A = this chain, B = another copy of it.
Amino acid sequence: MCTEATLLRPTLQQSLWFSGLPEELQEAIAAAGAVKHLKQGQYLHRKDDKVDGLYCLLNGKLRVSNLTLAGQELILTWLQAGNWFGEISMFDGLPRTHDAIAEQDCCLLKLSNQNFELLLQNKPCLYPHFIRLICQRVRTTFKLIDEMASLSLKGQLCRRLLLLTDGLGLWPNKQSDALSPSYTLDISQESLALMLHSSRQTVNKILQELQKEGVLSVHYGHITLFDKSKLLSLSQV
Contacts and interface: CB of A to CB of B under 8 A. Distances in A.
A139 B88 contact: yes
Interface string A124-158: 10011011101111110110111011110000000
A97 interface: yes
Interface string A102-139: 00000000000000000000001001101110111111
A193 to B, nearest CB: 12
Given A92-B132, A97-B139, A138-B138, A150 B236 contact: no
A91 B132 contact: yes
A94 interface: yes
A178 interface: no
**Which of A88, A132, A237 has the most B CB atoms < 10 Å from its CB?**
A88
A98 B138 CA distance: 12
A175 interface: no
For this complex, into which size category does the number of interface residues on chain A fall? Answer: 35 or more
Number of copies: 2
Contact of A148 (B72, B76, B145, B151): B145
A150 B88 CA distance: 23
B127 A88 contact: no
Contacts of A69: 150-151, 236-237
Contact of A142 (B141, B148, B151, B236): B141
Contacts of A127: 124, 127-128, 131
A2 interface: no
Interface of A: 66, 68-70, 72, 74, 76, 88, 91-92, 94, 97-98, 124, 127-128, 130-132, 134-139, 141-142, 144-146, 148-151, 197, 236-237
